[in-house]
Amino acid sequence: MKKVLILEDEINIRSFVVINLRRAGYEVIEAGTGQEALDKLRETPDIGVAILDIMLPDIDGFEVCRRIRATSKQIGVIMLTARTQEMDKVTGLMTGADDYVTKPFSPAELTARIDALFRRIGGDNTANSEMLSQGPFVMNTRNHTLEKNGSRIKLTQVEYSILKLFMQNPGRALSREDILDAVWGRDYDGELKIVDVNIRRLRIKIEDDATSPTYITTVWGFGYKWGI
């Protein structure tokens, strides 16, 4: 059974999420504080997706996300954000989250986001190793790894999926909608800015100078292009 961690200090909200995720077939691990969540993640290393609230009594959700990403790039992370706090969404994504859901949310919406994350985490298990090699980059699509000039670059699952899409379409201008559909799925009902924030994160990791990108270039008014 696929395991999901829910970090939420409001018991009513947490119980509501737990009931609905169990109905959807997930095994749910609960945490009410950031430290408890980190402890549960260490105790249960096969958790596939973590749902993190931001406002917590000890460590905020952003810091929990940073600590998760310092040790694990494979786990999917969804932030729970307040509808009025636009910067919470951007900050959450920049700290390594894969997606965000705004409160109040429906059980169906949250379950759909979790389902999509699990598909991305396990959806590229090809029987044979495939190497994509362009310029200084070598991507192994079986092991989900990327190297630049022989040095490993750690990517989240979403970052890996975006870069794989680019490397499979060199020189082709991809719209934000193209990237959103390919990586998050056609049924994703979030905002296009999630693409821009993840591109910003990718540039920080792979570009020689993220302020003057040469690998992922902007096609103004349209989207982005991969060029080596």
Taking residues 78-93, report their average pLDDT: 80
Identify the weakest region by mean pLDDT among 7-11, 79-83, 203-207, 213-217.
79-83
Is pLDDT of 164 > 90?
A: yes
- The pLDDT, as a whole number, for residue 63 is 94
CA distances from 89 to 11, 51, 130, 218 (A): 23, 14, 34, 22
Residue 104's contacts (CB-CB under 8 Å, 6 or more residues apart) are 83
Residues 6+ positions from 175 with CB-CB distance below 8 Å: 222, 223
User: What is the Rg, in whole angstroms, of the alpha carbon atoms belonging to the chain?
Assistant: 18
Q: Which residues of 1-18 are buried (b: 16+ CB within 10 A; e: fewer)?
A: ebebbbbbbeeebbebbb
Q: Where is pLDDT greater, at 115 or 84?
A: 115
User: What confidence tier does 83 reach under pLDDT thresholds 50, 70, 90?
Assistant: low
> Once rounded to an integer, what is the mean pLDDT over residues 15-25?
92
How confident is the model over 177-224, as pLDDT tens digits?
A: 999 999 988 878 778 889 999 999 999 999 999 999 999 999 998 999
The 10s digit of each residue's pLDDT in 128-160 is 447 888 999 999 887 888 999 999 999 988 899
User: What confidence tens digit (pLDDT) does each residue in 51-69 have?
Assistant: 999 989 899 999 999 999 9
Q: Is 162 helix (H, G, I), strand (E, B) or coil?
A: helix
